[in-house]
Amino acid sequence: MIQRILFNSGLFKIDVLSSLVLLGVIFFTVLILLYSIGFMRGKPGRGQYYTYIILTSLASLAVCLTNNLVFLLVAWGFLGITLYLLIALAGPQAREAAKKTLIIVGGADALMVLAAAIIYCLTGTLEMDKIRISLSASSLLPVLAYLCLALACFAKAGAMPLHTWIPDCAENAPLPVTAFLPASLDKLLGIYLLARVSLDMFVMSRTMNMFLMLAGAFTIVAAVMMALIQHNMKRLLGYHAVSQVGYMVLGIGTGIPVGVAGGIFHMLNNAVYKSCLFLTAGSVEQRAKTSQLDALGGLSRLMPLTYISSLIASLSISGVPPFNGFISKWMVYQGLIGNWRLANGKWEMSVYLLCLVAAVFGSALTLASFLKLLHAVFLGQGEVLSKRQVREVSAWMWFPQLVLALLCIVFGIFAYQVPLKYFIGPAVGNNIEFFGLWAPALAAILLFVGMLAGLLIYCSGNIKQLSRRDKPYVGTEDIPAEARPTGTEFYRTVKEELGVLRGIYRKAEAGAFDIYHQAKDLIFGVTNFLRYLHNGVLPTYLVWCLLGMMGIFYLFLK
Amino acid sequence: MNNFIPFFVIIPLGAAFLISLVGKLSRRLADFLATSGGFGLLALSFFTLWILNSRAGVVLVYKVGGWVPPIGICMAVDNLSSLMLSTVNTVSFLVLLYSLSYMEKYTDKWKFYTLFMLMLAGMNGIMVTGDLFNLFVFLEIASISSYALVAFGTEAEELEASFKYAVMGSLASSFVLLGIALLYSYTSTLNMADIGRTLAAHPAGLLLNFVAVLFLAGFGLKAALVPFHAWLPDAHPSAPAPISAMLSGVFIKVLGVYALSRVFFNILGVSQGVLFILLILGTVSMVAGAFLAIGQSDIKRMFAYSSVSQIGYIILAFGIGSPLAIFGGLFHLINHAFFKSLLFLNSGAIEYSAESRDLKKLGGLKEGMPFTAATGIVGSLAISGLPPLGGFFSKLIIILAAVQAGYLWLGLAAALVSILTLAYYLKFIGFAFLGKLPEGLAKIKEVPLAMRLAMLILAVACLASGLLVAPLFKSLLQSASDCLLLGTGYAERVFSAIR
């Protein structure tokens, strides 16, 4: 009975892809709720917080399950509202971030309404599994509909150019919210919908695929460059949340099974390690009461469990084998190479090559910026902080972190055996062709054996004193605390000493590349003109009425 | 059976009369008379809705004094007018409830009630009348009492606004009157159905075009369509908050949209030319109103421009003219009645407690006024068209209808304006309710119960109005939009009801 109502009416439908996202949603909801028990203890507005989290989760489930475009719009838009309310809970300073977030996310929803309207007019149905629109036709309508939907996915997942809410949101929202929504759930849903739209509802044209790939590649590099120069841990992670979306969009844009599977797998992996990273950032902030990189340091001894989770997740996001981030990136690269082989014409070939270079380069820069993060937060000198009784967070909080870190390892080493076999493979139709050789289990064993051997050799030499700590010195002089280089110092060269980059960074920080600010300036320009016209003088207004009447009369007589 | 129709006018007129007699003697009695009058109208309008909804395609006609139309004057209520009557009287009852507490700070509360009831009599009269000249008379009753209500605070700013409003409103009235006079000279009748029938039999050619221009300008002024909108951003903010809620929530819809669509769709008949002009007026209003709203820092001024923009959506939908579009337009009209009156009541609550309506001086009101904040957020998100609130569905239908009718760019414009709407309402929420509470407002208190109750009911209406497209309630809107789609067949329906 229930099954008939839910599934036979065409309102709901479940397949492998949606069940994968469904599982992800439930998993992250449980973990975030666990973490929140520790994080939100004693904070005001808990009742509202938990209500909104549960509502978010329910709406996300509805997004995964629905097969009706209007119902999808409703659930999708509702997520924007809950996100807004959750960010607003953080307190007075979150006002601007909340507003920006909902304008971008909700604004993209308005475009999605237009897309739904166009699709309905083209196909006469709102049931997603019956929609199959070809983009190769030269008509405008399908392209506009696809672009509107893709923009909505971009806004939700945070791909450029609609990414700018994510760093602001990461900086201001309560941390579990960032870990829950922009880092995991919004990625899952945004990429889920992008995959659904690009793979099922539309027949992609080559140009559209190129558009997706270029958008993805650009997102990877631009966002990671911004991440490099951040001084706030949460904002840095926020830019990485943007950068990683690029890989997923790139993967789906390749359009061949291994690339698409890589994109979807990366979506899953990203949700795992990125929420892990945000959770550890939350733990650090809760104990150290700051998220400024310059003020942190040396926490590895004080918060070992958080450190380990953060380390694993950092390596994973940087694509270091054998963790999970590597393997999905590897699959995306394979998708690109596969396309490169099929390419006709030098122009196409160079696009694929460009994307490949951007992806690999982005991965290297990611590693660089995470070295900065790890060094500034956990390593380095932390004498200032240790006095303040920084200790490990409660079990409610470290348990979810460790679970996620463990998942990074499992998904990496047993990639073929677990996630690819059960989730990703069936979702793209089980016809993934891998080329190149990568046996993660074997590689992991070799790596661990190698490390173990190294450790043995090290220990055999220093058996009496396993670790040694010296005060930092130059020559024979101790360096005074204020003269020591901080973790962020090394990266200042990127921002200040490379001529071309310096100008771009300066503009980026002034908001020149933020579509939100640009649109705002444009709108206020028009507004000011219109306000200038409204001078408050009655005769002017009467003249307008007269002119209006004349205009109408002219239209009638024409 | 149809004898209850005149009571839509009799009740408010009687209440106005009684209140002006006894209001000076007892404040409580005036409160009681006004509220019970409002409640009586509410009950009556829902009774009418219920009667009409059980029998589709029926017009209830009341012959005034027993004289048979077209010689006598008649009152005619069909599905469209009954739906509008229910909306208007619901909002006005809630506004009266709100005024119980809000208007305490003004002297001569009874004068407010008297004027309010006169305005209501005018609005109800417009919706029930079947006679074009009566329509003009009721239009004037409603307008003149609203001029007085705008000036109710008697501060310089309010008097100036009222003066501008009065001048432009009289201009509108004279256009309408001239149009009616020309029609009368041509058809020798004032009965709406009879005019429709005569015009169908003897097409009027160029004269009809001139009349159409006069009506478009006249009702366009009342509906505040750009470029006839300039009085509204002064008049609506200057009035006391309950009146702003009435003016923006229902007044411009009755005097503007309802009268316009009744006259054009059912009497003169819509040509492609009229539809095209409506399309242009609607689009321009929708876009310009949104741009102007985003620059305001006075809450009520922002809402007033927002009304211009939202009326633009409705007129745009009527201009598309397809059944789906008219359905969506009417749906948006009802939604807008709910959320705009809620928002104006909200701004009143803010002004009541914080004694300012300048967004730059407010902030953090969520702390002291959680109830006002919650209802304000509901109203704002509803008007911005976020799901699952009512406004989303009506905008969806309008955009769908625009694309379906081949107006892709208008659909795109409607979607983009929807983003702008979201932006300025988030500006309102952000600056009023979120952020830091200013020093001076540290001890701010929530508003009294009557005001909260009115806002609560309207907020629930905003949340639930999406259900109007659900199969159970869809017939209400469907039958109302069928009345407009019937076109000049209206005459036939009225005359068959008389026989």
- Residues A415, A272 share a domain: yes
Give the pLDDT of residue B320.
92
Cβ neighbours of B164 in A, within 8 Å: 538, 541
Backbone φ and ψ for B298, nearest 5 degrees, come out as -85, 125
Partner residue opposite A95 with nearest CB, options B234, B404, B434: B434
The helix (H) or strand (E) run that includes residue B217 is: helix B206-223
Indicate whether A490 pLDDT > 80: no
Give the pLDDT of residue A124.
83
Q: Is B167 in Cβ contact with A524 (below 8 Å)?
A: no
- Residues A395, A255 share a domain: yes
pLDDT in tens, A239-269: 888 888 888 888 888 888 888 888 888 888 8
The helix (H) or strand (E) run that includes residue B240 is: none
Partner residue opposite B213 with nearest CB, options A98, A102, A549: A549
Euclidean distance between CA atoms B474 and B144, whole angstroms: 36
Q: Quick one: closest CA in A to B165, which residue?
A: A538
Q: Quick one: closest CA in A to B404, which residue?
A: A121
Q: In this structure, is residue A509 part of a structural domain?
A: no
Q: Is B291 in Cβ contact with A526 (below 8 Å)?
A: yes
Q: Is A96 in Cβ contact with B288 (below 8 Å)?
A: no
Please answer whether residues B239 and B322 qualify as being in contact, where contact means their C-beta atoms are separated by less than 8 angstroms. Answer: no
Q: In this structure, is residue A421 part of a structural domain?
A: yes
Which of A327-341, A458-472, A511-525, B420-434 is the most confident on average? Answer: B420-434
Q: Which of A250, A230, A249 is nearest to A240 (CA)?
A: A230
Helix, strand, coil % in chain A, rounded to nearest 5: 75, 5, 20
Q: Quick one: closest CA in B to A116, which residue?
A: B400
Q: What is the DSSP letter of A18?
A: H
Q: In this structure, is residue A497 part of a structural domain?
A: no
Pairing of strands A473-474, A202-203: unpaired
Q: Is A530 in Cβ contact with B288 (below 8 Å)?
A: yes
Q: In this structure, is residue A65 part of a structural domain?
A: yes
Cβ neighbours of A524 in B, within 8 Å: 294-295
Please answer whether residues A234 and A211 qualify as being in contact, where contact means their C-beta atoms are separated by less than 8 angstroms. Answer: no
Q: In this structure, is residue A459 part of a structural domain?
A: no
A473: confidence class by pLDDT, cuts 50, 70, 90: low
Q: Is B396 in Cβ contact with A113 (below 8 Å)?
A: yes
- Residues A253, A357 share a domain: yes
Euclidean distance between CA atoms B120 and B429, whole angstroms: 31
- Residues A262, A139 share a domain: yes
Please answer whether residues B279 and B273 qualify as being in contact, where contact means their C-beta atoms are separated by less than 8 angstroms. Answer: no
ipTM: 0.89
First to last CA, chain B: 15
- Residues A526, A386 share a domain: no
- Residues A526, A425 share a domain: no
Q: What domain range includes position A109?
A: 2-431
Per-residue pLDDT of chain B (499 residues; tens, 9 = 90+): 678 899 999 999 999 999 999 988 888 899 999 999 999 999 999 999 988 887 767 888 888 888 888 888 889 998 899 999 999 999 999 999 999 989 888 888 899 999 999 999 999 999 999 899 999 999 999 999 999 999 998 888 899 999 999 999 999 999 999 999 999 999 999 999 999 889 888 888 888 889 999 999 999 999 999 889 989 988 988 899 999 999 998 999 999 999 999 999 999 888 888 999 999 999 999 999 999 999 888 999 999 999 999 999 999 999 998 999 999 999 999 999 999 999 999 999 998 888 888 888 888 888 888 899 999 999 999 999 888 888 899 999 999 999 999 898 999 999 999 999 999 999 999 888 888 888 887 788 888 898 999 999 999 998 888 888 887 788 888 888 888 888 888 888 888 888 7
Euclidean distance between CA atoms A191 and A384, whole angstroms: 42
Q: Which of A470-479, A508-517, B418-427 has the lowest mean pLDDT?
A: A470-479
Indicate whether A9 pLDDT > 60: yes
Give A545 to chain B, closest Cα distance, Å: 5
Q: Which of B164, B168, B173 is nearest to B237 (CA)?
A: B164
Q: What percent of chain A has pLDDT over 70?
A: 84
Indicate whether A474 pLDDT > 70: no
Backbone φ and ψ for A538, nearest 5 degrees, come out as -60, -45
Higher pLDDT, B460 or A305: B460
Q: Is B415 in Cβ contact with A113 (below 8 Å)?
A: yes
Q: In this structure, is residue A470 part of a structural domain?
A: no
Give the pLDDT of residue A280.
86
State the angle between helix axes of A186-195 and A257-288 in degrees (0 to 180), rounded to the nearest 10: 170
Burial A410-431 (b: 16+ CB within 10 A, else e): bbbbbbeeebbeebbbebbeee
Q: Quick one: closest CA in A to B423, which residue?
A: A103
Q: Which of A431, A462, A491 is the last residue of a domain?
A: A431
In one-letter notation, the amino acid at residue B73 is I
- Residues A533, A395 share a domain: no
Query: E-strand spans in B301-405?
Result: none
Indicate whether A376 pLDDT > 70: yes
Burial A496-506 (b: 16+ CB within 10 A, else e): eeeeebeebbe
Q: Is A107 in Cβ contact with B426 (below 8 Å)?
A: no
Burial class of B130 by CB neighbour count within 10 A (0 to 12, 13 to 18, 19+): buried
In one-letter notation, the amino acid at residue B430 is G
Mean pLDDT of A33-49: 81
Please answer whether residues A193 and A205 qualify as being in contact, where contact means their C-beta atoms are separated by less than 8 angstroms. Answer: no
Q: Which of B239, B271, B96, B65 is nearest to B154 (CA)?
A: B239
Cβ neighbours of B411 in A, within 8 Å: 114, 117-118
Tokens of A234: 């949460």
- Residues A339, A191 share a domain: yes
Give the pLDDT of residue A433.
65
Q: In this structure, is residue A456 part of a structural domain?
A: no
Tokens of A11: 């309102």
Burial A252-289 (b: 16+ CB within 10 A, else e): bbbbbbbbbbbbbbbbbbbbbbbbbbbbbbbbbbbbbe
Q: Is A117 in Cβ contact with B400 (below 8 Å)?
A: yes
pLDDT in tens, A160-185: 888 888 888 888 888 888 878 888 88
- DSSP collapsed to 3 states, A117-151: HHHHHHHCCCEHHHCCEECCCCCHHHHHHHHHHHH
Residue of B403, B428, B436 to mutate when probing chain A, most A C-beta within 10 A: B403
Q: Is A118 in Cβ contact with B435 (below 8 Å)?
A: no
pLDDT in tens, A112-164: 999 999 988 888 888 887 888 877 766 788 888 888 999 999 888 888 888 88
The mean pLDDT value of chain A amounts to: 80
- Residues A269, A172 share a domain: yes
Residue of B231, B398, B400, B404 to mutate when probing chain A, most A C-beta within 10 A: B400
Cβ neighbours of B221 in A, within 8 Å: 545
pLDDT in tens, A226-238: 888 888 888 888 8
Give B163 to chain A, closest Cα distance, Å: 9
Euclidean distance between CA atoms A508 and A229, whole angstroms: 11
Q: Is A530 in Cβ contact with B291 (below 8 Å)?
A: yes
- Residues A415, A297 share a domain: yes
Q: Which of B44, B210, B245, B221 is nearest to B127 (CA)?
A: B44
Backbone φ/ψ region at A256: left (φ over 0), alpha (ψ -120 to 50), beta: beta
Q: In this structure, is residue A467 part of a structural domain?
A: no
Give the pLDDT of residue B129.
92
Q: What percent of chain A has pLDDT over 90?
A: 3
Q: Which of A388, A405, A431 is the last residue of a domain?
A: A431
Cβ neighbours of B209 in A, within 8 Å: 553, 556-557
Give A549 to chain B, closest Cα distance, Å: 6
Q: What is the DSSP letter of A286?
A: H
Please answer whether residues B329 and B242 qualify as being in contact, where contact means their C-beta atoms are separated by less than 8 angstroms. Answer: no
Euclidean distance between CA atoms A148 and B56, whole angstroms: 40
State the angle between helix axes of B156-187 and A538-557 in degrees (0 to 180), rounded to the nearest 10: 30
State the angle between helix axes of B272-294 and B408-432 in degrees (0 to 180), rounded to the nearest 10: 30
Mean pLDDT of A309-319: 86
Euclidean distance between CA atoms B143 and B68, whole angstroms: 30
CA atoms lying within 13 Å on the CB side of residue A214? 10
The helix (H) or strand (E) run that includes residue B58 is: none
Q: Which residue has the tokens 């771009």?
A: A504
Please answer whether residues A40 and A49 qualify as being in contact, where contact means their C-beta atoms are separated by less than 8 angstroms. Answer: yes
Partner residue opposite A527 with nearest CB, options B168, B294, B411: B294
Structural domain count, chain A: 2
- Residues A158, A251 share a domain: yes
Helices (H), A255-323: 257-288, 299-302, 304-317
Q: Which of B460, B478, B477 is nearest to B90 (CA)?
A: B460
Cβ neighbours of A68 in B, within 8 Å: none
- Residues A108, A245 share a domain: yes
Q: Which residue has the tokens 């005034």?
A: B64
- CB-defined contacts A:B, below 8 A: 165
CA atoms lying within 13 Å on the CB side of residue B479? 22
Q: Which of A365, A397, A431 is the last residue of a domain?
A: A431
First to last CA, chain A: 61
Backbone φ/ψ region at A69: left (φ over 0), alpha (ψ -120 to 50), beta: alpha
Please answer whether residues A154 and A246 qualify as being in contact, where contact means their C-beta atoms are separated by less than 8 angstroms. Answer: no
